Amino acid sequence: MKNTSKKELLAKIETEARKYFVGASGCHDWTHIERVRALAVRIGKKEKADLFVVEAAALLHDIGRKAEMESGGLFCHAEKGAEIAGIILKKLGLGEGEMANIVHCVGSHRYRKSNAPETIEAKVLFDADKLDSIGAVGIARIFLFAGNAGARTLYTGNEKKLARDGKDYSYTKEDSALLEYYKKLRFIYKKILTKEGKIIARERQEFMDDFFARFGKEIKSLV
């Protein structure tokens, strides 16, 4: 890391990260990384986070996603991504402290009980990633994701029933954008961790709720 600026390091990390998005699906392609990066920096500034760690983690957070989708969800992309990120960062000569924090950010951005975000940088990345799944962009992404995952129709009519049974229908023919909204997306705002993230989430959530309320009415030809 000697004689290498943070800007240069980020450029090298971006070059490495881009390799994992060749042929990626539209819902998790490089445009998603760019949006999460911008959101993470925006939130990170307000939360006084280490912006180098935040940006590096944003660039790397989904490097395991393409492989997960190709496998039909057989493994966790965050865990795989953290493993790969460690290799990349070690090769670039990052210090142990920064490297450990970035790897933690990548590994915890899905926020499972066994691997929750602990540092402020990890919380910032988690929020930025989740915020990109709601609002106007979130709506577009979930329709695209459902199509790529094999959804057989725009909606099945069984969404509310399936949402209540507690099962995971991701990557199955029962999946749809509407089911993802009922099961997951309408609760995203409750998971946001940072103060700035909550402010952004509130407006995006309201927009998404209004959209799916209208969508439901149009399905029934009520409007």
Answer whether 78's CB lies under 8 Å from 64's CB.
yes
Q: In degrees to the nearest 10, what's the CA dihedral of 183, 186, 187, 193?
A: 140
Residues of the chain with CATH 1.10.3210.10: 1-121
What is the reported pLDDT for 111? Answer: 65
The more confident residue out of 68 and 42 is: 42
CA within 13 Å, CB half, 148: 20
The string over 96-120, giving b where at least 16 C-beta atoms fall within 10 Å of a residue's C-beta and e elsewhere, is eebbebbbbbbbbbbbeeebebebb
Confidence of residue 2 (pLDDT cuts 50, 70, 90): low
Answer whether 138's CB lies under 8 Å from 187's CB.
no
Would you state the structure tokens that stand for residue 22, as one six-digit string? Answer: 């060749």
Would you state the structure tokens that stand for residue 139, as one six-digit string? Answer: 């709506």
- pTM attached to this predicted model: 0.89
Q: Which pairs from 184-192 meet CB under 8 Å and 24+ separation?
A: 185/133, 185/134, 185/138, 185/142, 186/212, 188/130, 188/133, 188/134, 189/134, 191/111, 191/130, 192/127, 192/130, 192/131
What is the reported pLDDT for 199? Answer: 97
* Largest separation between any pair of C-alpha atoms in the chain: 65
Residues of the chain with CATH 1.20.58.1910: 133-223
The architecture (CATH level 2) of 1-121 comes to: Orthogonal Bundle (1.10)
Helices 120-131 and 51-60, interaxial angle, to 10°? 50
pLDDT digits over 181-192, tens only? 998 899 999 999
By three-state DSSP, how is residue 157 classified? coil
The more confident residue out of 147 and 178 is: 178
Question: What is the mean pLDDT of the segment spanning 142-148?
Answer: 82
Burial of 204 (0-12, 13-18, 19+ CB in 10 A): buried
pLDDT digits over 48-99, tens only? 999 999 999 999 998 887 776 666 666 677 778 888 999 999 999 999 999 9
pLDDT digits over 11-31, tens only? 999 999 999 888 766 677 899
Task: Assess if CATH 3.30.460.20 describes domain 133-223.
Answer: no
